[in-house]
């Protein structure tokens, strides 16, 4: 409680300090804009009046000079009297003393003033007093972490009955990292976070956005999750397939070589969910399907086969046919297309003695594809704690992610 309270105080102080700085900057900018507007109106409006004033002052000065010249002519010597009067008369005839420049009416002369609406303070006061909230409990919390090979399935739930969520936002970081990063935004309440290093702690947190709202809720209490399961990887170096840098995506290239691409190790165990996802290929269309294509699991790697449609293996073909130990089942799933997801789930339902003759195990297998599934029992003549997975495609263009 003390740690979260201290953090909340720091966040509030930082936010309102930033807000005060921003408001002062905006007010200063608005003041400068209004002062510049006053200056512009003043300069534009005063210019014709200044010119009019100059003309009037010039006329007055000319008339004053002419008046003094007339007085001098009247009071001067008799010999110069006629000459000065003649000069005065000529100037008086050329100077229009009865004309003035046009002066705008007083109502047309700008009179500047400032209109400041005092209700702005009331509006700001109301907004400020409603700005920000302190939540003692976030409306959503992390609920469960499920280990996956090279990943973690994170589940969360709503804990506020009055809160109606529209979207959720999940973030994570390595415990030693400095900041969280988004890993999922959407309406689901669970997400598999991939590319997780085994035996490394990661911090997770989640928040939500209410229906019709733009802002996110407070973050949930950060929790630690990790996985001890190594990631699923395809075997590198098989001609006919190109792998991603993490070796969890296999692309059937245009090589003429054929064969089954197996996992690097038997990393699939009963009780887990193995998922194949047909991701968007590098070419515009998905590879051409073939009846020999296969996605599935097997007890051991066996070279020399071009498909998992063989003994000690269960698989689905790209046309939706399901094979158990090389035999096709009567039940069929939808065809695998671009964006399809195929999952394998297995659990032990009967276990015989291991290590001697007659040892056997019965596995309950569920294969799901495009919202349909088939369930059957797979009987093996040997106990196996973990299985290999594999794929085979006859034509280029297929691109499969496994997790």
pTM for the structure as a whole: 0.62
Q: What is the CATH number of the domain that holds 147?
A: 2.60.40.10
Domain-embedded: residue 100: yes
- Same structural domain, 173 and 288: no
Q: What are 102-132's pLDDT values in tens digits? A: 767 777 777 888 888 888 888 888 888 888 7
Q: Note whether residue 273 is domain-resident.
A: yes
For residue 347, being part of any structural domain is answered with: yes
Indicate whether 235 belongs to any domain. no
Q: Is residue 183 part of a domain?
A: yes
Q: Rounded CA gap, 225 and 143, in Å?
A: 11
pLDDT of residue 76: 65
Q: Count Cβ atoms below 10 Å from residue 128 Cβ, excluding itself.
A: 12
Contacts of 378 (CB under 8 A, 6+ apart): 314, 324, 325, 346, 362, 363, 364, 365
Domain boundary among 225, 250, 271: 225
The reply to whether 396 and 371 lie within a common domain is: yes
What digits encode the pLDDT tens for the residues 274-298?
A: 999 887 544 344 678 899 999 999 9
pLDDT value at residue 162: 86
Residue 29 in any domain: the answer is yes
Domain shared by 10 and 41, yes or no: yes
Same domain, 306 and 248: yes
* Residue 165 sits in the same domain as residue 306: no
Q: How many separate domains does the chain show?
A: 3
Residue-wise pLDDT for 91-100, tens only, equals 777 776 666 6
For residues 198 and 338, state if they share a domain. no
What CA–CA distance (Å, rounded) separates 167 from 107? 61
Helix (H) / strand (E) element for 192: namely strand 190-194
Whether 233 maps to a domain, the answer reads no
Q: Decide which of 111, 130, 149 is a domain's last residue.
A: 130
Residue 282 and residue 397 in one domain? yes
Same domain for 113 and 152, yes or no, is: no
For residue 59, the SS3 value is: helix
Do 193 and 278 lie in one domain? The reply is no
Residues of the chain short of pLDDT 50, as ranges, are 281-285, 355-358
Q: Decide: 286 and 353 in contact? Cβ < 8 Å.
A: no
Does any domain span residue 236?
Answer: no
Q: What 3-state class would DSSP assign to 249? A: strand
* 74 and 172 housed in the same domain: no
> 295 and 217 share a domain?
no
Same-domain check for residues 320 and 398: yes
Domain limits at 245? 241-352+359-402
């Amino acid at each position: 409680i003390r740690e979260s309270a201290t953090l909340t105080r720091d966040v509030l102080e930082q936010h309102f300090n930033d807000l005060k700085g921003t408001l002062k900057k905006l007010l200063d900018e608005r003041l400068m804009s209004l002062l510049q507007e006053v200056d512009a109106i003043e300069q534009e409006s005063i210019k014709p009046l200044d010119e009019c004033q100059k003309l009037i002052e010039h006329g007055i000065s000319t008339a004053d000079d002419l008046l003094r010249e007339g007085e001098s002519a009247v009071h001067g010597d008799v010999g110069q009297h006629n000459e000065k009067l003649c000069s005065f008369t000529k100037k008086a005839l050329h100077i229009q003393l009865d004309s003035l420049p046009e002066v705008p009416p007083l109502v047309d002369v700008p009179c500047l003033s400032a209109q400041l609406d005092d209700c702005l303070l009331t509006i700001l006061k109301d907004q400020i007093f409603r700005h920000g909230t302190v939540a003692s409990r976030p409306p959503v919390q992390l609920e469960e972490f499920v280990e996956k090979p090279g990943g973690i399935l994170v589940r969360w739930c709503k804990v506020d009955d009055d809160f109606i969520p529209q979207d959720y936002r999940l973030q994570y970081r390595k415990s030693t990292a400095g900041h969280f990063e988004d890993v999922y935004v959407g309406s689901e309440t669970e997400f598999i976070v991939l590319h997780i290093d085994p035996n490394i702690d990661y911090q997770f947190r989640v928040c939500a956005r209410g229906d019709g709202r733009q802002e996110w809720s407070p973050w949930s209490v950060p929790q630690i999750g990790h996985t001890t399961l190594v990631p699923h990887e395809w075997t590198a170096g098989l001609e006919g397939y190109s792998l991603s840098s993490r070796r969890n995506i296999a692309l059937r290239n245009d090589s003429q070589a054929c064969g089954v691409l197996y996992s690097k190790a038997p990393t699939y165990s009963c009780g887990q969910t193995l998922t194949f996802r047909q991701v968007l290929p590098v070419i515009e269309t998905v590879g051409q399907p073939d009846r020999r294509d296969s996605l599935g699991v097997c007890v051991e790697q066996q070279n020399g086969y071009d498909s998992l449609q063989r003994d000690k293996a269960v698989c689905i073909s790209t046309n939706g046919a399901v094979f158990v130990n090389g035999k096709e089942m009567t039940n069929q799933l939808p065809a695998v297309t671009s964006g399809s997801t195929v999952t394998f789930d297995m659990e032990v339902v009967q276990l015989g003695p291991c290590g001697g003759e007659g040892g056997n195990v019965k596995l309950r297998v569920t294969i799901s594809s495009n919202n349909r599934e088939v369930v059957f029992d797979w009987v093996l003549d040997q106990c196996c704690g973990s299985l290999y997975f594999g794929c085979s495609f006859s034509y280029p263009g297929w691109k499969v992610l496994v997790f």
